[in-house]
Amino acid sequence: MNLVRSWICNFPEPQKTSITDALESASLAKIRPALRLLEDLSADQRGPILNVELLSTFNLEPVLPALQLALNCLPSRACLQLGPLDAIESHISQRAGAESRKPLHARVIIWRLEELLPEALYPFSTGFPKQLAARVEEVVQRVERVVGLHQTNAHGVPLFLSTIAFPVNFSNPVFAAQHRAGLFSSVGRINQKIYELATDNKGVHVVDLAAWAAFEGRAHTDATLDFMARQPLSAKGQTAFGLFIARSLRPLIVPRRKALALDLDNTLWGGVVGEDGLAGLKLGHEFPGNVHLRIQRELLELRNRGVLLVLLSKNNEADAREAFDALPEMLLKWDDFAARKVNWNYKHENLRHAACELGLGLDSFAFIDDSDYEREQMRQSLPEVLILNDTPDPLHTLRSLWETDAFDSFSVTDEDHGRHRDYAVRAARDVSAHQDDLETFLKLLQMEATIEEIGPSNLERVVTMLGKTNQFNLTTKRHSRAEVQAMLNSPGSIPLALRLRDKFGEQGIVGVVLAIPIGQNSTLAIDSFLVSCRALGRGVEDALWTAMIDRAARQGTRKLQAEYRATAKNGIVAELYDRLGLQRVEQSSSSIRYQLAPVKRRAFPSWMAVTNQSNER
Amino acid sequence: MNDSDPLLRLLIDFFNLPPDTQPQEINQKSVSSWDSLAMVQLIADLQGTFSVDFDLDEIGALRSYEEIHRTLSRKGVPSLR
């Protein structure tokens, strides 16, 4: 239920309560009102459209409301289409011709042994072992044919194949385990084929019904309902099945979290390094240090499959570093973290800075902390961040890592494997660590800036930057594409973008300046001036400003007007125009107006090679 | 709606009946949506909600509030005694 609560966290309270009540009670009498309440929400609140086709060898019709509710919780506007009972191949073939139907986002095939291979339930009545083994191979071939048929007739539609759950209603389970043609081995053979098909075919995924049924146990089934209606799931089984299918499909519409921010004390080890000292920390193969060791194992696994780890710790950095170096059982190394913020600042501010350095949105982050206070402050300050644990208990933290779906994905790509290395490169670009000899460091980065005219090739990126840049943004004007286009069309305007590369690679457009003519006296006003946070502190603003001034001087500008408009986030540029040599002419609590007259050309920064391609207008 | 009668409440919600529906009004003949599919779903719901398993001969009798109430009471469901 914790997963569902996180899925529906943005729903209004009445819907949340109704859904939670419905799923906990597993009662259709509560599921139906919950479904009706969901219809009151707007399309935006309800999530993306998700058209799912279900094909099954048993009767799923009674289960549809539970399945519908679970998929709606993702959230999604799920539309379920149930194919005819036990007619998988003919339906796939026929549907191919029906082009007028709505597009499919997923096809799910659920099958079970009772229909696929009923002989396995009565081996001695059906030619055990030889004949039965041959029948198993026929089923394996059938499964393969179904995938081929789908690929031919519905190419590009993700296909979800269920594995075969072990039956619970049959006799002699002891014997079923003794022979390669026995029931359990037969199920295993078919499932093995299903896993292979998913491995070898892009867009084919597994809904592991066998694993799910094992987790759920016998209580998910109901023999009475199976005999009555060929529907084998109990009421609780139906909602659990719905949630299981929903989670299996979720990566189709919800991207996984890319980073996990976590604290040190009482998470990576037991105890507080600043108080207990190294000798007092608990980490190792004995209880309770083994819980923390297992947490580290899980975190290392996440890192190795492409989730970035970010360290957020209120500690002296030297103490934390010493613990990493000195504790022999530490699995995680200092460099396993793509960003480290070990200081006494607010954790939400540290996380915001880390997100900026890594070029990730806040909604890419999950967070773990043993402190109730820190979790609550993170929840209040950055609601986009998903908080995984909700108590200080380390075992609970470990469980939250086991149970979370925040990092669910269908596959792990080469890009995922290399992600940590890529972000280590980003960290190597971090100028804040080299303030002692900044100019030397900046020269070592071998930066090459290209000044471009804003136009069709970069307009999209410029509009995105205008919409998202908060820190280095002098006026924070959120112009639309049409508004920027109007400025480009204005005679005498100077719309420039700066593209940066360094020895680590291409950074793309990282700076924008928009200057527009006003009045009749050859005056230009700076409408917008912004630099992406991933390029802060590297003198990008100097290069861009110099290029703009150069152009302004050449087109005869006599006076330049500029403004700093204060926001909650752009304090770092409060004195930029002073540094660039402009004079203050007017000041209030929320803004400072500047001017520059005469407009004199200035030199480009010495640590950066600048190519100016903007002089074509 | 009578909140003290969990069966009545369940049937009203299940079939989306008016809140003031009386127990004697709830039977398979008078509730149009009470078809064979609803029957399967209702049995699952009753078994889950009241933690009971129906015998085969009981299932055939579950066709009205009264009959369901009688069956559940016979099975010792505490809230219906």
Cβ contact, residue pair B48, A228, below 8 Å: no
B8: nearest CA partner in chain A: A29
Q: Do A29 and B10 touch (CB under 8 A)?
A: yes
Max Cα-Cα span within chain B: 32
Question: How many A×B Cβ pairs under 8 Å?
Answer: 62
A567 by DSSP, 3-state: which? coil
Closest-CA distance, B35 to chain A, in angstroms, reads 12
Distance between first and last Cα of chain A: 60
Q: Is omega for the bond preceding A62 within 30 degrees of 0, making it cis? A: no
Within 13 A of B46's CA, how many CA atoms are on the CB side?
29
**B40 and A28 in contact by Cβ < 8 A?**
no
Q: Is A68 on the interface with B (CB under 8 A)?
A: no
For residues A585 and A595, give the distance between their C-alpha atoms in angstroms, rounded to a whole number: 7
Q: Say if B48 is an interface residue toward chain A (CB within 8 Å).
A: yes
- pLDDT tens-digit map of A428-455: 766 666 666 777 878 888 889 999 999 9
Q: What pLDDT does A506 receive?
A: 77
The alpha-carbon gap from B64 to the nearest alpha carbon of chain A, in Å, equals 16
On whether any CB of chain A is under 8 Å from the CB of B73, the answer is: no
In terms of Cβ atoms closer than 10 Å to its own Cβ (0-12, 13-18, 19+), residue A1 is exposed
Q: Which residue has the tokens 């299981």?
A: A244
Q: How confident is the model at residue B81 (pLDDT cuts 50, 70, 90)?
A: low
Interface pTM, i.e. ipTM: 0.93
Chain B hits for A229, CB-CB cut-off 8 Å, are 36-37, 40
Low-confidence spans in chain A with pLDDT less than 70: 96-101, 427, 429-436, 615-617
Tell me the CATH class for A435-612.
alpha beta
Distance CA A168, CA A113 (A): 11
Compare all CA atoms of chain B with the CA of A27 and give the residue at the minimum distance: B45
Choose, out of B7, B33, B40, the residue to mutate when testing the contact with A (most A CBs < 10 Å): B40
Q: Is A62 on the interface with B (CB under 8 A)?
A: yes
Binary contact (A228, B59; C-beta < 8 A): yes
Is the whole model's pTM more than 0.80, yes or no?
Answer: no
Inter-chain residue contact B44 with A28, CB threshold 8 Å: yes
Residue spans of the domains in chain A: they are 49-252, 259-426, 435-612
pLDDT of residue A102: 81
**Annotated domain spans of chain B:** 6-80
CA nearest to A236 within chain B: B48
- Say if A466 is an interface residue toward chain B (CB within 8 Å): no
Subunit contact A28:B37, Cβ cutoff 8 A: no
Q: Is B54 on the interface with A (CB under 8 A)?
A: yes
Give the pLDDT confidence score for residue A1 in this predicted structure: 80
Considering only the C-alpha atoms of chain A, give the largest distance between any 2 of them, rounded to a whole number of Å.
101
Q: Is A33 on the interface with B (CB under 8 A)?
A: yes
Consecutive H or E run containing A508: strand A505-518
- The domain A259-426 belongs to what CATH superfamily? HAD superfamily/HAD-like (3.40.50.1000)
CA distance A65 to chain B (A): 10
Assess B47–A contact: CB distance below 8 Å, yes or no: yes
Instruction: Specify whether the backbone of A217 is left (phi greater than 0), alpha (psi in -120 to 50) or beta.
Output: left
Do A298 and A248 touch, CB atoms closer than 8 A? no
CATH 1.10.1200.10, domain B6-80, yes or no:
yes
A234 contact residues in B (CB cutoff 8 A) = 44, 47-48
Which residue of B26, B45, B65 is the best one to mutate when testing the A interface, meaning the one whose CB has the most A CBs within 10 A?
B45
Compute the nearest-CA separation of B49 from chain A (Å). 7
| Identity of the amino acid at A164 | I
Of B13, B16, B43, the CB nearest to A225: B43
**Is A228 close to B11, i.e. CB distance below 8 A?**
no
The helix/strand/coil state of A531 is strand
Asked if A157 reaches chain B (Cβ–Cβ under 8 Å), the answer is no
A573-587, pLDDT tens digit by residue?
Answer: 999 999 999 999 999
Q: Which residue of B has its CA nearest to A62?
A: B41
CA distance A377 to A371: 10
pLDDT number for residue A432: 66
Residues 6+ apart with CB under 8 A from A407: A256, A257, A260, A302, A305, A307, A366
> Position B9: which residue type?
R
Q: SS3 for A168?
A: coil
CB-nearest partner of A235 from B11, B45, B56: B45
Between the alpha carbon of residue A182 and those of residues A127, A175, A179, A187, the distances in Å are 12, 7, 5, 9
Nearest Cβ partner of A32 from B9, B13, B40? B13
CB-based contact, B11 to chain A, within 8 Å:
yes
B73: nearest Cα among B45, B46, B41:
B46
End-to-end CA distance of chain B: 19
CATH code assigned to A49-252: 3.40.50.1110
Min Cα distance A36 → chain B (Å) is 10
Domain A49-252 and domain A259-426 have a common topology = yes
Among B9, B36, B45, select the one facing A28 at the smallest CB separation: B45
CA distance B53 to chain A (A): 9
Distance from CA of A72 to the nearest CA of B (A): 19
* Rounded to 5°, angle at Cα A184 from A182 and A188: 115
Residue contact B40–A231, C-beta within 8 A: yes
> How far is A180 from A50, CA to CA, in rounded Å?
41
- Higher confidence at residue A438 or residue B26? B26
* pLDDT on residue B1: 52
Is A32 part of the contact surface with chain B (CB cutoff 8 Å)? Answer: yes
